[in-house]
Copies of this chain bind each other. A is one copy, B any other.
Amino acid sequence: RIMKFLSLYMRDLPRPSFMSCTPRELGIGAWGDILCCHVDTPIHDALELFLKNRVSALPLIDENGRVVDIYAKFDVISLAAESSYDKLDCTVQEALQHRSEWFEGVQTCLETDSLFQVLEAIVKAEVHRLIVTDQDKKVVGVVSLSDILKNLVLDPCQKPP
Q: How many copies does the complex hold?
A: 2
A100 to chain B, nearest CB (A): 10
A93 to B29, CA, bound (A): 28
A50: chain B residues within 8 A (beta carbon):
149
A48 CB within 8 Å of chain B: yes
Are A80 and B16 closer than 8 Å at their CB atoms? no
- In this complex, how many residues of chain A approach chain B with their Cβ under 8 Å: the count is 51
A70 CB within 8 Å of chain B: no
Known contacts A77-B122, A102-B1: A149-B83 contact under CB 8 Å:
no
Q: Which of A137-158 contact B (CB under 8 A)?
A: 145-146, 148-154, 156-157
A5: chain B residues within 8 A (beta carbon):
78, 99, 102
Q: Which of A58-95 contact B (CB under 8 A)?
A: 73-74, 76-83, 85, 88
Are A51 and B8 closer than 8 Å at their CB atoms? no
A1: chain B residues within 8 A (beta carbon):
102
A157 to B99, CA, bound (A): 26
Residues in chain A within 8 A of chain B (CB atoms): 1-2, 4-5, 8-10, 13-14, 16, 19, 44, 47-48, 50-51, 54, 73-74, 76-83, 85, 88, 98-99, 101-102, 119-120, 122-123, 126, 128, 145-146, 148-154, 156-157, 159
